[in-house]
Amino acid sequence: MKLAIIFIGTGNYIDFLPSYYDSCEKFLVPNTEKTYFVFTDGELEGLPNNIIPYYQEHLPWPYITLERFKYILKAESDLADFDYVLFLDADTRVVETVTEEELFTDKKYIGVHHPCHFLGMPPHDKPPGAFETRFESAAGISGDDDTSIYFQGCLWGGKMPHVLSMIRELAQRTQFDLSRDVIAQWHDESQMNKFFCERREDVHVMGPEYAYPEVFANACEFEPKIVHLAKENSKYHV
């Protein structure tokens, strides 16, 4: 089993890489061979053999997140050699062991239940929540879509070649929107949620403990497995 992990860190976000790498090596599917695909404009020296760098210029907000599917495709041919692909935000930290049994299933895709949706926080406390509803966007949901779970864009992935097909499709949908001056409400996360709504039965849903919001820690009654770091005063070292 070979797992490709996608890290995007341009600008100051490259500073997260050392602790991100160490935590994944220690806690994330520890019995699986892992290779890290690092997209950055930063200077990288003395890299471990299992890190593959790709140059990515730092784009202004929201394009640095909105167009991530397009620039992940720079690594398309290399990613095709792996069994699974997992994207994890640069500012996440794996803090407890995530076993192969927890991550790998018979489902094509992997998504994580957005903690704010799980907790019923605004805007998730009333329909349509955070889903994109504008039909002019390719991310706009329809009455046929399963909206029972809203997924957070900080963690997603799944089996090859299904995930590569998803990345291509979402890159195309995003460019279709941009060609008409449309930007989905929550950018790449909106596009991903539409895709998962259409294929809900194919998605392995990871619980909110795999996207534990450090900034809302007091509201969480579940223990963290993967932490989404607070921007300030995080108790986890960067």
Structure confidence by residue, pLDDT tens digits, 124-163: 999 999 999 999 999 999 989 999 999 999 999 999 999 9
Is pLDDT above 70 for 237? Answer: no
C-alpha dihedral (71, 74, 16, 163), degrees to nearest 10: 80
- Under the banding of pLDDT at 50, 70 and 90, the label for residue 234 is confident
> What's the CA gap between 92 and 94, in Å, rounded?
7
Distance CA 55, CA 76 (A): 14
Write out pLDDT tens, residues 169-192: 999 999 999 999 999 999 999 999
- The predicted-structure confidence for 205-219, as pLDDT tens digits, reads as follows 999 999 999 999 999
Is the predicted pLDDT of residue 231 greater than 90, yes or no? no
Contact in structure between 161 and 76 (CB atoms under 8 Å): no
Give the span between the Cα atoms of 63 and 176, in whole angstroms: 14
**Could you read off the pLDDT of 16-35 as tens digits, one per residue?**
999 999 999 999 999 999 99
**Can you list the domains of the chain with their CATH numbers?**
2-228 (3.90.550.10)
Q: What is the reported pLDDT for 238?
A: 60
Please, is 126 exposed, middle or buried when counting C-beta atoms within 10 Å of its C-beta (0-12, 13-18, 19+)?
exposed
Instruction: Name the helix (H) or strand (E) containing 232.
Output: none
Q: Are 93 and 227 in contact (CB under 8 A)?
A: yes
CB atoms within 10 A of CB 197: 21
Q: Which residues of 172-182 are buried (b: 16+ CB within 10 A; e: fewer)?
A: ebbeebeeeeb
